[in-house]
């Protein structure tokens, strides 16, 4: 396949090599981070549970893959000293386990039966302490806290307008915009204030907001990022059956605490969970804009970001990933070698595992090629920061510290590696070099998404256009040659779209593959 049309830059291998050489010197935290877009953030919320902060903690733990820089929880509780509702918050840099390592945080600090939480990967704003969410405020209508997943696309205009009105920003994150817009609203109820603020903002957002009126959750009018609502049945201290309500970016967070999904929050929808919900089960629903546009769900959530055991946008991620692998095998099968070596399919763990199963099965059962699925790469989950000896090849060492090829599976075999995406390609190149040392007879690569050619402005951290490997070569053959493999094929955009669920009124954002941005991007 020649995809010169997709590629913006002409072939320039020397430039590309100098870019990747510079990146070799850059500090990276883990191997995957360098070759994958960074998942944006994870948000959670819970209303009506006596251990709300502990439940939020467990939910954040299962959403750790959506952000590893920082974590935070805010709770609302009745403060007897001041005789009214107050908030408590704990927010730090680090993984959830480290940030909440002291058990007394859940009993002595984060009190109350409502909580929201956030895992942060810095898509906007520096990775400093002030930017860690939830962001909390006391204003004319009481107290309010916000957790946000996504990126706004009209931040500069909003910030300028708010500053002209006297707003002073404390963070460099676009999430603070919501607080200022809510505080500046002249509307009389908190729900109306939030609704007005959401109408002014543009871009991708999924929000959990704690207010004195209850827990509010919302998805932007195009619904770029996922957010679901669920319920958690429990027995209280008086042995009475009770139900708490929860929201989370992915349903794997519900599984963690034994909650069940009620539904995906709709695009252009804002819901309110309050004491009335606890009594009647009714979740109040509001439209953000009067007219609901066609949804533009992020297609990359299915390809890579979300966990396969989650449901997002009302669908199983696992099922879609298998279909991606199946469609890839139909489009680009791998054949046994001329001397009869069967096809051995291996995944790049963990993100490529599920789609690899789909690929292997289809290559065997539908394409009728002698095919086996094998575990060819063992991944260490305990990498952390590794001390690199002076003079050591930094990238190669980091790859080795994370993946080890299983020689018995690879040696003298006809191997096809299945992975979900290639962004820079630098780490993948080192990984392929490592696999080559185990002496495969043939080494092929199949990717369950099209070439990534454009950055994301709706809440994913992609490298710049010139850092994307697909923008430096004219064909997949050239990329394959650069990576050091015998053949490379990407899933086509048509087959990617065919693989994802088709619901009425739902479409997809595919901008990082096509450059077609569904929501206007503000010029700098
Ligand atoms: Fe998702 Fe890509 Fe669109 Fe960003 S540009 S929202 S990652 S599909």
| pLDDT at 384 (0 to 100) | 57
Q: Could you read off the pLDDT of 268-295 as tens digits, one per residue?
A: 999 999 999 999 999 999 999 999 999 9
> Can you tell me which atom of ligand 1 is nearest the CA of 37?
7
Q: Is 309 helix (H, G, I), strand (E, B) or coil?
A: coil
| Ligand 1 atom 4: residue of nearest CA | 456
| Spatial separation of the C-alpha atoms in residues 63 and 96, rounded to whole Å | 9
| Spatial separation of the C-alpha atoms in residues 426 and 17, rounded to whole Å | 10
| pLDDT at 450 (0 to 100) | 98
Find tokens 């939910």 and name the residue. 59
| pLDDT at 122 (0 to 100) | 62
* Phi and psi, residue 110, nearest 5°: -85, 70
> Mean pLDDT for each consecutive 10-residue tract of the chain (524 residues)?
35 39 36 57 97 98 94 97 96 95 97 96 65 94 95 87 87 88 95 96 94 97 97 97 98 98 98 98 97 97 96 98 98 97 96 94 97 95 57 71 94 97 92 96 98 92 89 96 97 98 96 95 72
Neighbours of 124 (CB within 10 A): 18
| pLDDT at 383 (0 to 100) | 63
- The pLDDT mean for the chain works out to 89
Q: If we measure between CA atoms, which residue out of 499, 501, 473, 477 comes closest to residue 488?
A: 477
Among 298, 465, 507, residue to substitute to test ligand 1 (most atoms within 8 Å of Cβ): 298
Among 38, 153, 223, 300, residue to substitute to test ligand 1 (most atoms within 8 Å of Cβ): 300
| pLDDT at 123 (0 to 100) | 55
Opening angle at CA 207, ends 287 and 504, nearest 5:
50
| pLDDT at 27 (0 to 100) | 32
| pLDDT at 511 (0 to 100) | 97
Tally the residues of the chain.
Answer: 524
Pocket of ligand 1 (CB under 6 A): 224, 298-300, 456, 458, 460, 509-512
Residues in contact with 239: Cβ distance below 8 Å, sequence separation at least 6, in sequence order: none
Assess contact for 299 and 506: CB atoms under 8 A.
no
| Ligand 1 atom 2: residue of nearest CA | 512
Neighbours of 75 (CB within 10 A): 26
Residues in contact with 158: Cβ distance below 8 Å, sequence separation at least 6, in sequence order: 152, 177, 181, 200, 201
| Spatial separation of the C-alpha atoms in residues 469 and 15, rounded to whole Å | 11
| pLDDT at 2 (0 to 100) | 37
Q: Which residues are catalytic?
A: 41
Q: Is 233 helix (H, G, I), strand (E, B) or coil?
A: strand
Compute the distance from residue 172 Cα to the ligand 1 centre, in Å: 22
Compute the distance from residue 204 Cα to the ligand 1 centre, in Å: 10
Q: Is 202 helix (H, G, I), strand (E, B) or coil?
A: coil
| pLDDT at 452 (0 to 100) | 96
Residues in contact with 81: Cβ distance below 8 Å, sequence separation at least 6, in sequence order: none
Compute the distance from residue 454 Cα to the ligand 1 centre, in Å: 9
Tokens of 457: 């402005």
Q: Could you read off the pLDDT of 457-479 as tens digits, one per residue?
A: 998 888 889 999 999 999 999 99
| pLDDT at 173 (0 to 100) | 84
Opening angle at CA 86, ends 84 and 92, nearest 5:
175
DSSP string, 332-399: S--PPPTT-PPEEEEE-TTTTHHHHHHHHHHHHHTS---EEE---EEEPS---S-PPPTTS-HHHHHH
Burial 60-70 (b: 16+ CB within 10 A, else e): bbbbbbbbbbb
Q: If we measure between CA atoms, which residue out of 524, 522, 523 comes closest to residue 201?
A: 522
For the chain, give percent helix, strand, coil, nearest 5: 30, 25, 40
């Amino acid at each position: 396949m020649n995809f010169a049309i997709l590629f913006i830059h002409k072939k320039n291998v020397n430039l590309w090599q100098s870019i990747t050489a510079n990146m070799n010197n850059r500090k990276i935290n883990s191997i995957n981070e360098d070759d994958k877009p960074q998942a944006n953030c994870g948000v959670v919320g819970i209303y009506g549970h006596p251990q709300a902060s502990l439940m939020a903690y467990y939910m954040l733990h299962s959403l750790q893959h959506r952000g590893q820089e920082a974590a935070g929880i805010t709770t609302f509780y009745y403060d007897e000293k001041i005789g009214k509702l107050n908030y408590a918050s704990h927010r730090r840099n680090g993984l959830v386990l480290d940030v909440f390592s002291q058990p007394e945080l859940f009993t002595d600090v984060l009190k109350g039966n409502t909580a929201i939480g956030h895992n942060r990967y810095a898509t906007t704003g520096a990775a400093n302490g002030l930017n860690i969410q939830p962001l909390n405020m006391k204003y004319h209508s009481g107290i309010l806290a916000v957790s946000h997943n996504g990126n706004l696309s009209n931040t500069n205009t909003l910030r300028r307008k708010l500053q002209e009105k006297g707003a002073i920003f404390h963070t460099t994150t676009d999430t603070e915009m919501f607080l200022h817009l809510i505080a500046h609203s002249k509307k009389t109820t908190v729900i109306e204030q939030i609704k007005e603020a959401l109408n002014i903002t543009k871009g991708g957002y999924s929000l959990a907001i704690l207010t004195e009126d209850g827990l509010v959750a919302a998805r932007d009018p195009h619904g770029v990022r996922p957010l679901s609502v669920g319920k958690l049945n429990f027995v209280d201290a008086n042995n009475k059956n009770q139900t708490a309500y929860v929201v989370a970016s992915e349903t794997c967070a519900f599984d963690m605490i034994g909650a069940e999904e009620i539904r995906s929050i709709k695009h252009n929808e804002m819901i309110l969970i309050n004491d009335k919900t606890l009594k009647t089960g009714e979740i109040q629903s509001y439209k953000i804009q009067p007219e609901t546009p066609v949804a533009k769900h992020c297609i990359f959530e299915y390809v890579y970001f979300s966990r396969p055991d989650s449901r997002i946008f009302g669908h199983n991620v696992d099922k879609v990933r298998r279909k991606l692998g199946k469609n890839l095998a139909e489009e680009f099968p791998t054949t046994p070698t001329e001397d009869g070596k069967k096809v051995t399919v291996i995944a790049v763990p963990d993100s490529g595992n599920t789609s690899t199963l789909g690929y292997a099965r289809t290559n065997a059962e539908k394409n009728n090629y002698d095919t086996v699925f094998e575990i060819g790469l063992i991944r260490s989950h305990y990498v952390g920061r590794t001390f690199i000896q002076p003079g050591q090849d930094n990238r190669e060492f980091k790859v080795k510290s994370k993946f080890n090829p299983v020689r018995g599976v690879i040696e003298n075999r006809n191997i096809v590696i299945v992975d979900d995406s290639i962004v820079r390609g630098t780490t993948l190149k080192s990984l392929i070099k490592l696999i080559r040392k185990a002496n495969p007879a043939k080494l092929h690569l199949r990717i369950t998404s099209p070439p990534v050619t454009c950055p994301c402005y709706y809440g994913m951290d992609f490298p710049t256009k010139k850092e994307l490997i697909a923008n430096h070569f004219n064909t997949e053959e050239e990329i394959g040659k650069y990576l050091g493999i015998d053949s490379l094929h990407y899933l086509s955009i048509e087959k990617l779209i065919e693989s994802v669920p088709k619901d009425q009124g739902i479409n997809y954002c595919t901008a990082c593959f096509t450059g077609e941005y569904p929501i206007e991007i503000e010029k700098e």
